Amino acid sequence: MQKEISSGKVGPKDEGKREAMTLPKKGRRTLIQGATTYYWLASGNDEGIKLVVEQAQQPELKVVVLVEYGSSTSTTNNEESNRQTPIVSPAMVKRTINYALEQGWGSSPHTVLYYSYAQGTFVARAPF
């Protein structure tokens, strides 16, 4: 079983069932960059916002990012929790795709990359 935590890469045997499945059509958004179509979906939880990006033609190729609260330059103030809520925009998704491609995303089949995003920086992390 291959597992490289330092790079954030996880082999096909390590993929959780949620990450192995394609994104649901309901709620997913489409982004076209160059000749490649990507689907993305963002959902919030107590830790932050989970962003999942997959290639439309190869849905097993995913990038999963936990965008930590208060980590983006585009935020809204949440008075209830007294913390800033990051906004996951198409520009943020493009930055995620570009960073993942620089890290070798898509160079081997069945690759899922896991990152945290805080203070404008991507950091490799264990699957969540």
What percent of the chain clears pLDDT 90, i.e. is strictly above it?
38
pTM (two decimals): 0.72
Q: What is the 3-state secondary structure (H, E, C) of 85-96?
A: EECCCHHHHHHH
Domain assignment of residue 76, given as a range: 3-124
Q: Structurally, how many domains does the chain consist of?
A: 1
- pLDDT in the model for residue 51: 95
Task: Flag whether pLDDT at 120 surpasses 60.
Answer: yes
C-alpha span between 4 and 126 (Å, rounded): 9
Of 8-12, 84-88, 124-128, the poorest mean pLDDT is in 8-12
Nearest to 98 by CA among 53, 43, 49, 41: 53
- pLDDT in the model for residue 85: 65
Q: From residue 43, give the alpha-carbon distance in Å to each of 68, 103, 127.
A: 12, 24, 16
pLDDT tens string 62-105: 999 999 886 544 445 555 544 566 778 999 999 999 999 998 89
- pLDDT in the model for residue 94: 96
